[in-house]
Amino acid sequence: TKVAPKQEGDPPVQPEQAAEGDLIAQIYIPRFGDQWERNIVEGTTLEQLNKHGMGHYTTSQMPGELGNFAVAGHRNGYGQPLGDVDKLQPGDAIVIRTQDYWYVYHYTEYEIVTPDHTEVVAANPESPGAAPTKRMITLTTCEPKYTTATHRWISYGEFDYWAKVSDGVPAELTTTDESGAVRFVNTEQPTLIERLGSMQPVVIAALIAYVVLFIAAAVAWRWPVLREIREGVRPRPDVSFYGWLLRHQPGVMPIRWLLVLLLAVAAAGALLEWGYPWLAANIPFLRDMSNYVAV
């Protein structure tokens, strides 16, 4: 790894435009830990924030553009990307990476406002309505952290410099070992679930595996329910839903447990992909607890 040299002149703007849900950048804030990194997608709807972590206000400027690059993230729940926003100190680095460029900002100050103060994401939040005179970054999240979010915690930063990804890594994200070698501090690798980006393939795969195994086991060992119906055997009452579910699977006991496990994986994936986001968006109590952050 090399330390990317600071570039002179106005930074390039990247991306120039994006569609809802597009990945536009990654953000690194060393104050939150060497391994802290989040994706930023286009849009601040509940769907985008709950599924992807942080979202770019579509009405604000893009990275490198003159004005205000404004980003929202949950304070509590959904990975709480901005859960430690109150720990930021003046001068802390806030680093944005797009496909080809690094943009290094430094944290300056914060304020706490009510949700109707939308001027915090304006091109010039210091003088709403006026033309922007500098490049800024604004992070918005909820306040207070562990209860109904009645206010918004707004963190501001100002642009310092830009660098090329092809040249290396900004000094703010590097460390030097005993041999003098420069290393990127963030060595965390995405998990399998993070690389998938969606639980839908997991749900589909689990259901397909269940159907195939169910049919094979029913043919090989005869489905107990059909045998009970044919022989006129009245099943004994079950003491639990799990016992009832297990009894209605075909095959020997290990196969039955495997079938139940596949159903459980499919159900859990469906809840994560569709159930929980729907509940958080439509149940008032859960919506309050999710700390929705868009202003």
Sequential pLDDT tens for the chain (295 residues): 789 999 988 999 999 999 999 999 999 999 998 889 999 999 998 888 887 889 999 999 999 999 999 999 988 777 789 989 999 999 999 999 999 999 999 999 999 999 889 999 999 998 888 999 999 999 999 888 877 788 999 999 999 999 999 999 999 998 887 777 888 877 766 666 666 667 888 999 999 999 999 999 888 876 655 555 555 555 555 555 556 788 788 888 888 899 999 999 999 999 988 887 778 777 776 666 665 566 5
Other beta carbons within 10 Å of 33 = 12
Domain boundaries, the chain: 23-188, 196-289
Say which residues have a Cβ less than 8 Å from residue 81's Cβ, sequence separation at least 6.
38, 53, 54, 73, 74
Say which residues have a Cβ less than 8 Å from residue 49's Cβ, sequence separation at least 6.
55, 72, 73, 74, 78, 292, 293, 294
Residue 155 is predicted with a pLDDT of 96
**Could you tell me the sign of the dihedral formed by the alpha carbons of 134, 48, 188, 290, in that order?**
positive
Give the integer Cα–Cα distance in Å for 203 and 266.
4
- Report whether 36 contacts 54 (CB < 8 A): no
**Beta strand spans in the chain (E):** 23-28, 37-42, 54-56, 67-73, 93-97, 101-113, 135-143, 151-164, 174-176, 182-184
Residue 105 is predicted with a pLDDT of 97
Residue 217 is predicted with a pLDDT of 86
Q: Give CATH superfamily name and number for 23-188.
A: Sortase (2.40.260.10)
For residue 20, the SS3 value is coil
Our measurement of the distance from residue 174's CA atom to the centroid of its chain's CA atoms, rounded to an integer in Å, reads: 24
CA distances for 75 relative to 32, 158, 181, 271, 293, angstroms: 13, 22, 36, 22, 8
Phi, psi of 186 (to 5 degrees): -90, 100
Which residue bears the tokens 């430690």?
84
Residue 54 is predicted with a pLDDT of 92
Residue 156 is predicted with a pLDDT of 97
For residue 185, the SS3 value is coil
Other beta carbons within 10 Å of 91 = 10
* 86 token code pair: 């109150």
Q: Which residues face 169 on adjacent strands?
A: 3
**DSSP tag of 117:** -
β-pair type (54-56, 67-73): antiparallel
CA distances for 157 relative to 40, 148, 227, 284, angstroms: 17, 26, 70, 33
